[in-house]
Amino acid sequence: MPSGQPTVVDSDGNGYLDRIYIGTDKGLLYKVNIPDNPDAVEYGISHCVINLDFTDEASNTVDVLQRYHPIYGSPVVSIENEITAEGVIEYNLRIFFGTGDSPYYDENINMAATRYHFFAYRDKSLKGECDQTAVSLDWFFELPQGHRIFASAFAAAGQIYFGTSTSETEDPCESIDGGAGLGKIFAFSMDGTQTFEQTVGNIIVAPLVQDEHLYLKTQSGGLQSFGAGNYNNKVRMGGFADFGIKYWREVF
C-alpha cells in the first residue's frame, strides 16, 4: 500500500507534471510516468520500481536482510538536468528517502537486528520511460540502532536534511529511551558527504530551511532552530541578465 504522500515532478521544466514518485509499506519506491500534454500524448501511463539497486557508486552494498523496509515519508526529488550542445535534455533526477517501521502502531520489531537507511538514487531515464539501466543507487547512510525515519527530508542549497526518531510510534511514550527522545537531525551534501549530526529529540515532521536557519519540531522539545547569524534576513535579489552579440551576419 502507498504509505506516504506522492512527490509529483515536472522533470523537463515545460510547465506540465510528468512523473510521480511514491513509497509503499513494503519498501518499494515507485515511479509513475504520466503524459504531460493531453493535446499531444506522446506516451502512455507506465510505472516501475526505482529501488532495485542496492550497491552504490562506491561499491558499498546494503545487507540483504535490511532491504525493502517501509517508506513512510514522501521522497524528495532534486532535478539536476543538463543540456547538450545539440539542445537535448540529459535527465538527472536525484531521489532521496528514508526507511523505518510504522509510526502508527508498535510492530514489536527486533531493533538489535534491524537497521534502517537513508537512500539517494539517480534516475536518468528519458521522459515517459521506465529504463531500469538508467536508475542507480548514488549513496546510502545506515541509521544508528533504534533509529527510524517517519517524516520526509528537506533539500536546500545543495544539502539534504532529515530527522530520525527512537520512538516505536508517533506516541512519545513508546520510546525505547523512556520517552526522552534520542532522535537526531542529519545533514548531507547531495553527493553523500555528511555535514551535520546532532541529537535533538524524536522528529516526526519534516525539517525546514528558511531565512538561513534550519527549523525542526520534536515530540518533546517543541520547535528548535539552528544556524548562525540574524533572523529576518533581507532577501537576496539577483540582477538582470547581461545580453551581448555572439555573432552576426550581413545579409545582401
The CB-side HSE value for 94 (13 A sphere, CA atoms) comes to 20
pLDDT of residue 222: 79
Cβ 179 vs Cβ 172: under 8 Å: yes
Cα separation values, 177 from 103, 146, 174, Å? 16, 10, 9
Q: What is the DSSP letter of 191?
A: T
Asked, for residue 234, whether it belongs to a domain, the answer is no
Q: For residues 81 and 218, give the distance between their C-alpha atoms in angstroms, rounded to a whole number.
A: 35
Residue 246 in domain:
no
Q: What pLDDT score was predicted for residue 240?
A: 64
For residue 137, give the amino acid letter: L
Report the candidate in 180, 57, 165, 52 with the shortest Cα–Cα distance to residue 116. Answer: 165
For residue 247, tell me if it sits in a domain.
no
Task: Answer yes or no: is 12 within a domain.
Answer: yes
Nearest alpha-carbon partner for 137 in 122, 126, 125: 122
CA distance 4 to 25: 9
* Residue at grid coordinates 538508467: 134
Q: How many domains does the chain fold into? A: 1
Residue 189 resides in a domain: yes
Residue 243 lies in a domain: no
Distance of alpha carbon 167 from the chain centroid: 22
Q: Give dist(CA 209, CA 187) in Å, integer.
A: 11
Cell for 213? 536557519
- Dihedral sign for Cα atoms in the order 103, 214, 51, 68: negative
Cell reading at 75:
521522497
Taking residue 250's Cβ as centre, other Cβ atoms within 10 Å add up to 4
Beta strands per DSSP E along 91-249 = 93-98, 117-123, 135-142, 154-156, 159-163, 184-189, 194-199, 208-210, 213-218, 222-226
Parallel, antiparallel or unpaired: strands 19-23 and 29-33: antiparallel
User: Does any domain span residue 232?
Assistant: no
C-alpha cell of residue 130: 521506465
Given this model, what pLDDT does residue 245 score?
Answer: 73
pLDDT (tens, 9 = 90+) of the chain, 252 residues, equals: 888 889 999 999 988 999 999 999 999 999 999 998 878 788 889 999 999 999 999 999 999 999 999 999 999 999 999 999 888 999 999 999 999 999 888 888 999 999 999 999 999 999 999 999 999 999 999 999 999 999 999 999 899 999 999 988 887 666 555 555 889 999 999 999 999 999 999 998 999 998 888 999 988 777 888 887 777 777 666 666 666 777 777 777
C-alpha cell at 102: 510504522
Does residue 231 form part of some domain?
Answer: no
Domain span at residue 18? 7-226
